Amino acid sequence: MSHSYKTNNIIITMGEDFNYQSANMWFKNLDKLIKYTNQRQADGLKVNLFYSTPSCYLKSLYDAGITWPTKTDDFFPYASDPHAYWTGYFTSRPTIKRFERVGNHFLQVCKQLTATANVKESFFEPHLSHLEKAMGVMQHHDAVTGTEKQHVANDYSRMLNVAIAACGANTKSSLNQFTTGKVPPQPSSSNSSIKDQHKSPHPDYWDFKFESCLNLNISVCNISENSNQFTVTVYNPLSHATYEYIRVPVADAKYEVRDYRNIIIPSQIVAIPDSVKSLNYRESAANYELIFQANEVPAFGYKSYFVSRILNEIVPSVIHIRNKRKPEPIVIGNEHVNVTFDVNGLLSAITVDGVSNKLSQNFIYYKGAVGDNEIFENRSSGAYIFRPDPKSSEKIIAKQASIDVIRGELVDEVHQTFNEWLSQVVRVYKTENFVEFEWLVGSIPVDDNIGKEIVSRFYTVMKTDGVFYTDSNGREMLRRKRNYRETWKANIKEAIAGNYYPINTKIAIEDKVHRLAILTDRAQGGSSIYDGTVELMVHRRLLHDDAFGVGEALNETAYGKGLIARGKHYLIFGKKTDEHPTLAGRERLLQNRVLLPNWLFFDDVSSISYDDWAKKFTNIHSSIGLSLPQNVYFMTFEPWKDGTFLIRFEHLLEKGEDPELSKTVRFNLADIFPGNEIELKEVTLSANQWIEELNRLHFKAEVGDFRDEINTSDIGFKDIVDLEISLDPMQIRTFVMTMYPKV
């Protein structure tokens, strides 16, 4: 055993799932083991056992003063036996994985609005803490992973839903303060239970409700559907001004959208796909979505739009062109990007800046392996494990799709229907340079007693030599090569599952000329099983447990049927270039827009005229004085303690991704928060230690010096004129900030 270690200090770990549950028994036996082992030193045994900690063990390795190898790859995908690759949980429970992203999205919105409110209400802190705790639970390795029992998954969703509602009271108060100029009333009592925290202590005081619609992904929003006049308040949680196409479900009527300057905003009415309207649990009368572009939504701020239903006018009869396997190809797009669909209704080509390339997409499924789990070869596919049936090949779900084509001033769409449980919308907005794929999968049929793992696969003619790239927690892109591991010789018994990787935000392939990247709206498993292809697993429904602890099959149901999931993929394709903007640079900026898009708040304003709304209320606002550079992400802005704020800044790009966006970036907080006296002190990433007190061990590397090149010296309480923050590629810096108005 000692031959496998670099020093004579050998760590013996204790702990494992489902074990070590009787502490008294275990420590009593360990005491005996240590005592009698050490007694044998008198007989010449050169072993000394003692209780220790990871910190003490690490210190002993440092004190050895030897050199160490460095590791630049990761450990994915890992397996506990040759046929049990833990790559199924990358996709398991896709709706919880999406809800976790929604929870984080609203958490950032709530943090910002809680921190920037003019008056901090007494319930702000407990409400924000409630959502933070719920999101903390969602990070558990048996929560967002989808490896919990069904009733536990249900409880996680309940907890998060209640917590989002609780923080909604914060956003309502803050937005009303900005919009109306009112000061919140003194609460009559601050004693309320957690279950009542979503209830505002003064529900009738504010002019606006600022309600969120959490079911917009299935085109449901009670206010927009049923109000003759409503406002859409578009809140931008990013630190630079954004534009975004807004989609809201509406009744069968015509609408007019105006901003605070009384400018009529171009809009488009689009039919909701039949597959969405037919969802048996969808309580909505909306048949259409109203689309308009929200332009220059200020950073850390909002812009409100006034939407009026024009009575006595009906929706134009020609909204979309219906094509049921029309014999000629269909092309949709804009001046930058177009996509072509063949006579079978399937994607067949993409044209970028006038140059066309073959690109196709379809859905397949892998049949889940079934076994008794007694020996390695009999492992079942389950919540943890992805294992296609070794006796069955992949199946194409449908070789053709019926399509509806929608064309308009703002967006072109193709609605594909593959069968009764699989459909997709492919859309290209008129000012965007990416293609959006919105898939809807379920209820996955299992009447044939076959568990199915559903995959969206993209096909190109690129020569990729087995190489593809996946993100590491949304940050560094790692090079992957099929059937290969960087630091050991791979002997992969599961050719598909053994090449699956976690895709938190992006997967990409490229050759000498072109690059294709797919961005996701949630964590998924993905790979490039064949050269020139990219695939992402979007849903899985299985009938057998994999015997790794869940104790039940991953057979999710809702409303009496198999669970239905809906989500989006964003495709960027083009020629590689070393000039700004590179494709990788564009992908990074889109990645942040996907992670934190604008959050929509709704209000019924049927009793208010547009003129009163525009004159009486502040309908555009920003909490910062200047937008940050595009490659900087203001990732944390939240109330800390004793009136301070915790702030974090991240450089979004890696070195070499873009000649401009990958440069070191500098900005001054005096520009971000003008008119304020600011004191700033840097802390560690986890915000539990002042940076000047950080004293890490610097190990000697066998090749080069792997110590951080980033300067972590304390910037201290510098005068505001000197307070310029710099960020190197991929760097995150964290600060505690004290801010108060200048006298």
Distance between CA atoms of residues 239 and 382, nearest Å: 41
Distance between CA atoms of residues 519 and 434, nearest Å: 10
Shared-domain flag, residues 516 and 580: yes
* Number of domains within the chain: 3
Could you tell me if residue 105 is inside a domain? no
The residue out of 65, 80, 107 marking a domain boundary is: 65
Residue type, 92: S
Give the whole-number percent of the chain exceeding pLDDT 90.
83
Tell me phi and psi for residue 137, to 5 degrees: -65, -40
Tell me phi and psi for residue 221, to 5 degrees: -160, 110
| Predicted confidence (pLDDT) per residue in 48-82, tens digit | 999 999 999 999 999 999 999 888 888 899 999 99
Kindly give, in sequence order, each residue whose CB lies less than 8 Å from that of residue 418, ignoring residues fewer than 6 positions away. Answer: 363, 397, 398, 401, 424
Could you tell me if residue 232 is inside a domain? no
Shared-domain flag, residues 438 and 346: yes
Shared-domain flag, residues 496 and 590: yes
The answer to whether the CB of 541 falls within 8 A of the CB of 379 is: no
Distance between CA atoms of residues 54 and 49, nearest Å: 15
Shared-domain flag, residues 664 and 734: yes
Query: Which residue stretches of the chain have pLDDT < 50?
Result: 188, 190-192, 317-318, 706-721
Confidence at residue 131, expressed as pLDDT on a 0 to 100 scale: 98
Distance between CA atoms of residues 675 and 741, nearest Å: 6
Q: Write the CATH number for 685.
A: 2.60.40.1360
Distance between CA atoms of residues 379 and 86, nearest Å: 12
Nearest to 163 by CA among 196, 200, 131: 131
Confidence at residue 21, expressed as pLDDT on a 0 to 100 scale: 82
Confidence at residue 743, expressed as pLDDT on a 0 to 100 scale: 76
SS (H, E, C) 318-385: CCEEEECCCCCCEEEECCCEEEEECCCCCEEEEEECCEEEECEEEEEEEEECCCCCCCHHHCCCCCCC
Shared-domain flag, residues 668 and 527: no
Shared-domain flag, residues 576 and 709: no
Shared-domain flag, residues 548 and 654: no
Shared-domain flag, residues 344 and 423: yes
Shared-domain flag, residues 651 and 581: no
Q: Could you say which DSSP state residue 166 is in?
A: H
Domain limits for position 498: 320-595
Could you tell me if residue 577 is inside a domain? yes
- 725: part of which helix (H) or strand (E)? strand 724-727
* 3-state secondary structure at position 2: helix
Could you tell me if residue 710 is inside a domain? yes
Could you tell me if residue 183 is inside a domain? no
269 - beta bridge partners? 290
Confidence at residue 322, expressed as pLDDT on a 0 to 100 scale: 57
Nearest to 185 by CA among 115, 123, 131, 116: 123
Q: Kindly give the interhelix angle for 150-180 and 94-116, rounded to the nearest 10 degrees.
A: 30
The answer to whether the CB of 628 falls within 8 A of the CB of 661 is: no
Write the CA distances from 535 to 74, 328, 465, integer angstroms: 21, 28, 16
Could you tell me if residue 485 is inside a domain? yes
Confidence at residue 16, expressed as pLDDT on a 0 to 100 scale: 80
Confidence at residue 717, expressed as pLDDT on a 0 to 100 scale: 40
Q: Write the CATH number for 409.
A: 2.70.98.30
The residue out of 595, 613, 645 marking a domain boundary is: 595
Extract the tokens encoding 171: 């956003």
Could you tell me if residue 523 is inside a domain? yes
Nearest to 452 by CA among 355, 572, 370, 571: 370
Shared-domain flag, residues 444 and 489: yes
The residue out of 536, 571, 595 marking a domain boundary is: 595
Shared-domain flag, residues 591 and 641: no
Nearest to 572 by CA among 460, 409, 475: 460
Distance between CA atoms of residues 438 and 428, nearest Å: 11
pTM recorded for the entire structure: 0.93
The radius of gyration of the chain from alpha carbons, rounded to an integer in Å, stands at: 28
In order, the DSSP letters of 58-111 are HHHHHHTT-EE----S---S-EEETTEES-STTTSSHHHHHHHHHHHHHHHHHH
Nearest to 269 by CA among 215, 234, 335, 219: 219
Could you tell me if residue 384 is inside a domain? yes
Confidence at residue 532, expressed as pLDDT on a 0 to 100 scale: 97
Shared-domain flag, residues 583 and 654: no
